Amino acid sequence: MASTGDIARNIYRAARAIAHTGAEISAVSKELSEILLNEKEYNIKAADKDEGTEDDPHDWICTAYFCRYLFRARGRGIGKPLGQLTYIYDLGRDGGISNCLGQASVAVAWSMATDAPWEIQHITLPCPSRWDGDGHPGRYELALDHLALGLEGSSHRNTKLQNISWWYAFPLDALRRTEDIRRLMVDPVLSYLNQKYPDALTEADRPPEVIRLTIKDGLLQPNN
């Protein structure tokens, strides 16, 4: 068993690592906001931002948090609401993508205007590729092998991606430079919203770092 001194030193090192990580993620979020809020094609406003500690019974460590943006069409006034874009930073949440991958991850999740936005607990791996019975978007179909479509009932293959809910994810350490924020967190979203139908997606629409997914034995999981 580790001595009290060893435990104290481990706690100190872990706490310093958490503080360093928090500062880096804050910098990513700031840069992301600047990119989105200056986007010309849509009227984008920052919405909710929160931490998720539901998996930490003593609330000592935050293992996930999200920030969300409201998208409206450009036009007179504030424009027609189109949907909400949620970024979930998953640092080690029980049941989260990070635990499945063994590393911190980022999920980029779109919900159309008439749907409730994605929450931290909705995006888990592995998870059933069908409705979970609790009203959560637990039914998934895949567009290629990286975009999980949250669908209720029949497939919506001929519906624009702007009008259905979906998400993709990538490892947090893929964000090495400022340009990676736009390349992984903004450009794919704008491409999907502008012109893509699920069946129109090609391999070129998947940045190489984005996690490949598969449905095996009724479960959505990484395609290792």
Domain ranges of the chain: 31-222
pLDDT in tens, 43-63: 999 987 765 544 444 456 678
Q: For residue 34, what pLDDT is reported?
A: 92
125: which DSSP letter?
A: S
β-bridge mates for residue 171, sequence order: 105
Element (H, E) at 9: helix 4-37
Cis peptide before 208 (omega within 30 of 0): no
The number of residues in the chain equals: 224
pLDDT over 50 (residue 27): yes
Q: For residue 192, what pLDDT is reported?
A: 92
186: which DSSP letter?
A: I
Q: Tell me which range, 79-83, 155-159, 208-212, is most confidently predicted by mean pLDDT.
A: 208-212
pLDDT over 60 (residue 20): yes
Q: For residue 54, what pLDDT is reported?
A: 46
pLDDT over 80 (residue 119): yes
pLDDT in tens, 77-101: 677 889 999 999 998 888 889 988 8
Q: For residue 57, what pLDDT is reported?
A: 45
- What integer is the mean pLDDT of 177-185? 94
pLDDT in tens, 165-176: 899 999 999 999
Amino acid 191 reads S
Distance of CA 184 to the CA centre of its chain: 11
